[in-house]
């Protein structure tokens, strides 16, 4: 099922909000330790979230007709 442009833009806003919570330390993750209780961690994998945000931005640009070209390198 293809996502609409509005759905992609909504996901982008949500991803940016999640990134903000991660970077400011206000979002935590609880993990169960297989019957030994649980522990809470602050999520540290911001790189994956940054990639997701970049992918969403590129897909939105592509669908709205504003896709960016790559860097043009010249040599003499």
Domains of the chain: 5-64 (3.30.1580)
User: φ and ψ at 41, to 5 degrees?
Assistant: -120, 150
Q: pLDDT value at position 3?
A: 79
- Which comes out higher in pLDDT, residue 33 or 27? 27
Six-digit token string for 70: 């790559």
Q: Average pLDDT over the chain, rounded to whole?
A: 76
Residue 38's contacts (CB-CB under 8 Å, 6 or more residues apart) are 30, 31, 32
Averaged pLDDT, 20-49 = 67
Q: What's the token pair of residue 25? A: 């330390």
Contact indicator for 47, 56 with CB cutoff of 8 Å = no
Higher-pLDDT residue of 5 and 28 is 5
């Amino acid at each position: 099922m293809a996502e609409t442009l509005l759905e992609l833009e909504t996901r982008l806003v949500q991803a940016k909000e999640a990134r903000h919570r991660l970077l400011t330390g206000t979002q935590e993750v609880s993990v169960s330790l297989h019957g030994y209780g649980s522990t809470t961690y602050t999520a540290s994998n911001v790189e994956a979230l940054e990639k997701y945000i970049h992918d969403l931005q590129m897909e939105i640009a592509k669908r709205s007709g504003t896709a960016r070209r790559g860097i043009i390198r010249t040599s003499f």
